[in-house]
Amino acid sequence: MDVIRVQAEDFTLATEYKACTDVAGRDCGAIATFVGLVRQADGDTQVTGLHLEHYPGMTEASIEKIVEDARQRWSLQHIRVIHRIGELSAGSQIVLVVVASTHRPDAFAACEFIMDLLKTEAVFWKKEIRSTGEIWIKSTAGDYDRRDGWENAATSSMK
Amino acid sequence: MDVIRVQAEDFTLATEYKACTDVAGRDCGAIATFVGLVRQADGDTQVTGLHLEHYPGMTEASIEKIVEDARQRWSLQHIRVIHRIGELSAGSQIVLVVVASTHRPDAFAACEFIMDLLKTEAVFWKKEIRSTGEIWIKSTAGDYDRRDGWENAATSSMK
Amino acid sequence: MKVNVLFFASLKEDLGVSEIELDVSMLAGRSELLSALKNELGTECVAPVLEENVSIAINRRIEKGDFALKDGDEIAFLPPITGG
Amino acid sequence: MKVNVLFFASLKEDLGVSEIELDVSMLAGRSELLSALKNELGTECVAPVLEENVSIAINRRIEKGDFALKDGDEIAFLPPITGG
C-alpha cells in the first residue's frame, strides 16, 4: 500500500525511508527520494515563510491520481508522498516523495514525475511571505512544459 | 565542499541529509537523494550478497571526476556521494547520492547523472554471490546508453 | 434548495469569506449559480471569482462544462493550484 | 628498473595473485611490459590480462595508447568496471 499524507506536522526523511525499505521487498534495488524546502531567498528577495492551503478530500484525491498514474507508467514497489500545509517558516521542509523500484531508472523517473505533477495538478495554494509583501505562487510555464513532457515520454525503462 | 567517501561501513541517509541541509544554504529548495541496495533476488535467482572491490586513490578520483562533471552541467549547492566496498549482504545499502539545488530539475538531473556515471565510469568491481554461483557484474548495454544519453542532453534547466 | 459555496486562497482573501450558503433552484446550472453569487456578494465583489483561471469543483470534482446542481452540493471556487 | 603490477577483481582471481614486481628496461612500453608479464606468470596464465576489455592504468590513470614506464611506476590491470 502506498502512503499519501497531507499534514501540518513536519516529516522525517529517515522515518519514511525506513518505512519504505520495510515494505519494498526482496527485489528492491533503488530508492529515489526528493525533499522540497522553503527557500529563504529568491534572488535578492528575502523569503520569510510560506502559507500552504488545501481542500480536504480533494487534495488527497489529486495526489492519489498522480500516484496511480506513476504506477501505470513504471514498475514500482512502494511510493510515499507527504505534503505539508499551514504556515511554514523559511528553510522548512514542504514535501517528500519516496519511490522504491527494482531498478534505478524507474525510481528516478517516477519520483521526478510525481514532483512535476504535484506542481501543476495537486490541489494546493501557496502564498510566499516576502520582505516585499505577500504573493500567491502560480505554476510557471516551465512547470507546465515539464508536465506536458511526460505525455510523450517513454514509460517503463526496465530492461 | 562536496563530500565523496568510499568506505566499508554502512551509511545513514538521515545523517547525510542533515549534513547536506546544514551546508546547502539559503537558496536551497530541492534535495534529491538516491540509495542503491543489494537486491535479494534477481528474477528466480536468489542473491545472498555482493563483494565490492576498489582501487584506492583511483576510485575516489573517478568519482571526483563525475561530481565535477555534474557541477559543470547544473547549478548545484552541495553533492554527497558515499560508496561502500567489501562484503555486503542482501538488502544492504551500497551507494548514496545526495544533491542540493535551488530548483528541482537540477537536483533530479544531477542525482540521476551521477548514478548513471557511477555505473560505467567509477572504478569498482562487483561480484554477486548467487545461489547458483558467483558472477562478476558488468555494466549493461542499457547503462552505456544512459551514459551516452547525457552527452546530448541539455545542461542546466534553471529558469 | 441550498448549496454550499467555498472559496480558497486568493479568492477567500479577495472576497473576505471562505464559505457561504446559497439558495438556488433545483438543477441550477453555471449561469444561475453565478447570478445567485452576484446577488449575494455584489457584482463588483464577485469579479475575482469569474476570472478565466478560476476552476469550479462540484463535490470535489472539477467541472469544466455546465452542471446541474442538487440539494446539498458543495461548490468550490479554486484559483490556480500549485503544490510541491 | 622495477615496476609494480596490480591485478583487480576477476583478474586477481584468475591469476591467483594481486600484486607482483617486474623488472623491465627504462621507458619500457606496452609490448615489453606484456612480455615481461608472460615470462613471470607463464603464457597460458596471462591470457585473461590480454583480453580486449581489460584496461591498463599507469599510476592510477588509464592509458589507452602506448606508454613509457619509469622506475617505481604502478601498473594496474583493470577488468570492466561498474559501480553504483
**Mean pLDDT per 10-residue section of chain D, whose length is 84 residues:** 97 95 95 94 88 95 96 97 96
Q: Do residue A125 and residue C76 have CB atoms under 8 angstroms apart?
A: no
Q: Do residue B104 and residue A36 have CB atoms under 8 angstroms apart?
A: yes
Q: Which domains does chain B have, with CATH numbers?
A: 3-147 (3.90.1170.40)
Q: For position A155, what pLDDT does the model report?
A: 58
Share of chain A above pLDDT 90, in %: 88
Cell 479568492 locates to C11
Per-residue pLDDT at A131 exceeds 80:
yes
Q: Do residue D82 and residue B127 have CB atoms under 8 angstroms apart?
A: no
Number of domains in chain D: 1
Task: For residue C50, give how far its alpha carbon lies from the nearest alpha carbon of chain A (Å).
Answer: 18
Q: For position A44, what pLDDT does the model report?
A: 83
Task: For residue A26, give how far its alpha carbon lies from the nearest alpha carbon of chain C (Å).
Answer: 30
Residue C84: inside a domain: no
Task: For residue A137, give how far its alpha carbon lies from the nearest alpha carbon of chain B (Å).
Answer: 15
pLDDT average, residue stretch B80-91: 97
Contact D21, D5 (CB under 8 A): yes
Q: For position B159, what pLDDT does the model report?
A: 36
Contacts of B13 (CB under 8 A, 6+ apart): A13, A14, A17, A33, B33, B35, B96
Query: Does D have 3 or more CB contacts under 8 Å with C?
Result: no
How do beta strands A45-54 and A124-130 pair? antiparallel
Average pLDDT, chain B: 94
CATH (domain of C43) = 3.10.20.30
Share of chain C above pLDDT 70, in %: 100
Per-residue pLDDT at B9 exceeds 70:
yes
Residue D84: inside a domain: no
Chain B contact set for D83 (CB, 8 A): 63, 83, 95, 118-119, 121-124, 126
Q: Which of C51, C47, C73 is nearest to C60 (CA)?
A: C73
Q: For position A154, what pLDDT does the model report?
A: 58
- Look at the pTM and tell me if it is higher than 0.90: yes
Task: For residue B39, give how far its alpha carbon lies from the nearest alpha carbon of chain D (Å).
Answer: 13
Per-residue pLDDT at B152 exceeds 80:
no
Per-residue pLDDT at A128 exceeds 80:
yes
Alpha-carbon distance B79 to D44, whole Å? 46
pLDDT, tens only, A32-65? 999 999 999 877 889 999 999 999 999 999 999 9
Q: Which of B110, B97, B132, A33 is nearest to D83 (CA)?
A: B97
Alpha-carbon distance D75 to D7, whole Å? 9
- Supply B127's cell numbers: 561480484
Contact B83, B31 (CB under 8 A): no
Alpha-carbon distance B11 to C8, whole Å? 44
Task: For residue D7, give how far its alpha carbon lies from the nearest alpha carbon of chain B (Å).
Answer: 10
A91-120 residues touching B, CB cutoff 8 A: 91, 102, 104-105, 107-108, 111-112, 115
AA letter at A109: A
Residue D61: inside a domain: yes
Q: For position A113, what pLDDT does the model report?
A: 98
Residue C53: inside a domain: yes
Q: Do residue D82 and residue B58 have CB atoms under 8 angstroms apart?
A: no
Which pLDDT band holds residue B89 (cuts at 50, 70, 90)? very high
A91 vs B153, residue with greater confidence:
A91
Q: For position A159, what pLDDT does the model report?
A: 36
Give the nearest partner residue to C84 out of A57, A95, A138, using CB atoms.
A95
Give the nearest partner residue to C84 out of A57, A58, A118, using CB atoms.
A118
Least confident of A118-127, B63-72, C38-47, D30-39: C38-47
Q: Do residue D84 and residue B53 have CB atoms under 8 angstroms apart?
A: no
Which pLDDT band holds residue A158 (cuts at 50, 70, 90)? very low
Average pLDDT, chain A: 94
Range of the domain at D9: 2-78
Which pLDDT band holds residue B155 (cuts at 50, 70, 90)? low
Chain D contact set for B138 (CB, 8 A): 80, 82
Q: Which of B138, B70, B146, B63 is nearest to B108 (CA)?
A: B70
In the DSSP assignment, the letter for residue C71 is T
Q: For position D26, what pLDDT does the model report?
A: 93
Residue C83: inside a domain: no
How do beta strands B78-84 and B93-101 pair? antiparallel
Residue D83: inside a domain: no
Per-residue pLDDT at A5 exceeds 90:
yes
Alpha-carbon distance D82 to D84, whole Å? 7
Residue C63: inside a domain: yes
Phi, psi of C6 (to 5 degrees): -115, 145
Q: For position C44, what pLDDT does the model report?
A: 83
Name which of B22, B45, B108 to mutate to probe chain A: the one with the most chain A Cβ atoms within 10 A of its Cβ: B108
Share of chain B above pLDDT 70, in %: 96
A155 vs A149, residue with greater confidence:
A149
Residue D12: inside a domain: yes
pLDDT average, residue stretch B110-118: 98
Q: For position C28, what pLDDT does the model report?
A: 95
In the DSSP assignment, the letter for residue D48 is G
Alpha-carbon distance B24 to C17, whole Å? 40
Q: For position C43, what pLDDT does the model report?
A: 87
Question: Which residues on adjacent β-strands are paired with residue B125?
Answer: B53
Share of chain A above pLDDT 70, in %: 96
Least confident of A90-94, A149-153, B12-16: A149-153
